[in-house]
A and B are shown apart, each in its own frame.
Chain A
């Protein structure tokens, strides 16, 4: 009891710092709260930082914010796209400034409370060391983060913004202005016949391509891995090396070689295999969309199974043979052993990587574009017969300069990809492993 009273007296004596006052002061001007808390060095450096930030960036932020709202007002003078870029950069800067500001306000309040509870503020030297400890992870991540913002975050935000503008060949700065047009690009995709037709056919082929090509890869890889793992097979090492070979050859080289082999007129497939064996003039591998699609799936299987094979082989070798022995005692058939022991083991260990395989193929630009540039052309749509969404975006961007529509389709790709991301999320447990410093 006396102890408690003593403590109360002490706090009454020392209650010089009102946390709320500190908070309000630091909201008014960053650092004022810290000065009120008698942390002069800290407070003054905060004040200087804030003033410097405002002085250095005010004009730019103002231009950026004005620019992103209006996208320019005078054609020929205002460059809408640069204004949009400034606007996005301003928004990123402001986000960081707000985060720092919130940190400053919380810091002022927390320290006032701590001081009231009799906490001794560290000496200047100590404070420097403390803040170095606190800041260390930020210092380490800062360069990477800045680079990430400029090469990934900023371009993605920019693409999202473009999807809601009318930026194309005709509305293109510096001669003309770009305008915000809301969801019109998406409406066009859904209602204007040529966009609608193209979108439906490209979208459905993208899905078929992703599912079929990736599943083929996985199934072929799995079958081969199981076969090589068979106890009776000899020369395992040599067989594995040969089976992995397609992975070792650079993908773009293989695709271009395949493109030449499947050439309708002088390709090796028609000349050396189809015509001698079946006769006729060979098959229209590159001029008939159906044939091109079949070939694309076969080539992707060729290119992609070795990775899955190598992955599965590693897992198969690590499954303890006791499982199989126990199953044999119970009289399990081979199929049962495969379904109940091999498959669960293999899939459990590799599921995230398999999901990545699907997303990779969903955006597998290289094979589609390098094999036949998304062609052959098809009537009634403005994408090639084998274009997937991402190669369509590429063509819209660089062939027809229809940037805003390209961005709108990119956004749709992004939405689909985030569904995959969600599945990835649910498997993740790395968050539990927290640092302790």
Chain B
């Protein structure tokens, strides 16, 4: 077999693998889109390429008085937006202190963070439930946001600290000589340079609450407070086959904007993770 033929065969094999993967990747996605366009409500009668397709499910989500979809969307945006904003503020402030100052308790706090980031918040779900009940924040978006913001600190503080460590200290010192105070150095020198990693933190903490199912299911129990993941799950959990086509319509409406954002930002996500991650 000539090397040229061998190479051509190999290349065909590689492309065959890509085609195979493409089918596996696209099949569920196309199937879901097909389902959402089926006019009926049951999976029995629906097919991947509907004969008489319609947008009735999309219409139902927005116009039917029984549909809470818009409320869920809004709740999710509030929770995700607040979680992202406060996470960036808290994390950058903590990471700045750990990166630039020497103070009693610094090393032990860093070690504690390292251990804490390994434990999922879920492990303590009983405690969170009882605690929120105790302070009266059960079934409220505030309680949910507080937990998201608090529990992301250990991991992201490490991530951001790793990044801040790479910003030369000479810059701070120069600013200090020119009379800048602690806060000015943070606000005017370090923060602008840390924008890329802060964007990663913001994106992470926007996406996590958006997709999270378990924490909302513990904290929230009235349908008008549901986030979108919880709402959609309960959609199909009650009567699986009856609402499934509606569920797919609702799911697609949240998946498309998210997918577009992800595909645009994935390069930054990866570089942010490896920059902070391998150092930390």
Contacts and interface: CB of A to CB of B under 8 A. Distances in A.
Q: A and B: partners?
A: yes
Interface in B241-261: 241, 244, 247-248, 251, 254-255, 258-260
Contacts of A158: 124, 126-127, 130-131
B251 A137 contact: no
A283 interface: no
A268 B33 CA distance: 13
Contacts of A233: 11, 14-15
Contact of A81 (B25, B130, B169, B218): B130
Contacts of B98: 137, 141, 435
A379 to B, nearest CB: 24
B270 A310 contact: yes
B134 A85 contact: yes
Interface string A249-265: 11111101110110100
Interface in B146-182: 146-147, 149-151, 153-154, 157-158, 161-162, 165, 169, 182
A103 B103 CA distance: 12
A144 B247 contact: no
Contacts of B101: 136-137, 435, 437
Interface in A228-260: 230, 232-233, 239, 241-254, 256-258, 260
B44 A266 contact: yes
A249 B274 contact: no
A406 B248 CA distance: 34
A151 B146 contact: yes
B37 interface: no
Interface in A180-234: 224, 227, 230, 232-233
B127 A162 contact: yes
Contacts of B259: 245, 248-249
A40 interface: no
A397 B151 contact: no
Nearest to B217: A398
Interface stretch (B57-65, B109-117, B192-200): B109-117
Contact of A152 (B154, B244, B280): B154
Interface string B188-213: 00000000000000000000001101
A328 interface: no
Nearest to B44: A266
Interface string B256-280: 0011101100110011011001111
Contacts of B55: none
Contacts of B125: 393-394, 397
A352 interface: yes
B260 to A, nearest CB: 8
Q: How extensive is the interface on chain A, given as a class?
A: 35 or more
Given A250-B254, A266-B241, A366-B213, A421 B115 contact: yes
B16 to A, nearest CB: 11
Nearest to B123: A410
Interface class of chain B by DSSP: helix
B221 to A, nearest CB: 11
B70 interface: no
A407 interface: yes
Nearest to A227: B14
A162 B214 contact: no
Contacts of B271: 314
B175 to A, nearest CB: 13
Contacts of B22: 242
A121 interface: no
Nearest to B13: A227
Interface in A348-372: 349-350, 352-353, 359, 363, 365-366, 369-370
Nearest to A397: B126
A59 interface: no
Interface in A97-133: 99, 103, 133
B213 A431 contact: no
A316 interface: no
Interface in B114-150: 114-116, 118-131, 134, 146-147, 149-150
Given A158-B131, A246-B25, A349-B274, A261 B31 contact: yes
B127 to A, nearest CB: 4
Given A248-B259, A256-B232, A436 B278 contact: no
Nearest to B118: A421
Contacts, number: 276
B251 A253 contact: yes
Contacts of A159: 123-124, 126-127
B262 to A, nearest CB: 4
A338 interface: no
Contacts of A53: none
A363 B120 contact: yes
Given A156-B124, A272-B48, A249 B255 contact: yes
B236 interface: yes
Contacts of B15: 233
Contacts of B240: 260, 263
Contacts of B26: 242, 245
Given A136-B182, A268-B48, A350-B274, A433 B165 contact: yes
A241 B274 CA distance: 20
A399 interface: no
A314 B90 contact: no
A144 B25 contact: no
A436 B211 contact: no
A148 B271 CA distance: 27
A150 B43 contact: no
A36 interface: no
Contacts of A421: 114-115, 118
A291 B35 CA distance: 25
24 contacts: A85-B130, A103-B104, A141-B98, A143-B90, A144-B91, A145-B94, A148-B153, A152-B154, A247-B262, A248-B260, A252-B211, A253-B232, A253-B255, A256-B247, A258-B28, A260-B35, A349-B278, A353-B277, A394-B122, A394-B125, A397-B129, A431-B110, A433-B99, A437-B101
Given A245-B25, A253-B232, A410-B123, 20 more contacts: A144-B153, A158-B126, A233-B11, A243-B18, A247-B266, A248-B259, A250-B229, A250-B258, A252-B213, A253-B251, A253-B255, A256-B247, A257-B248, A302-B24, A349-B278, A370-B213, A393-B122, A407-B126, A430-B165, A435-B98
Closest 10 A/B residue pairs (Cβ): A151-B150, A155-B124, A155-B127, A158-B127, A248-B259, A248-B262, A137-B97, A137-B101, A147-B150, A421-B118
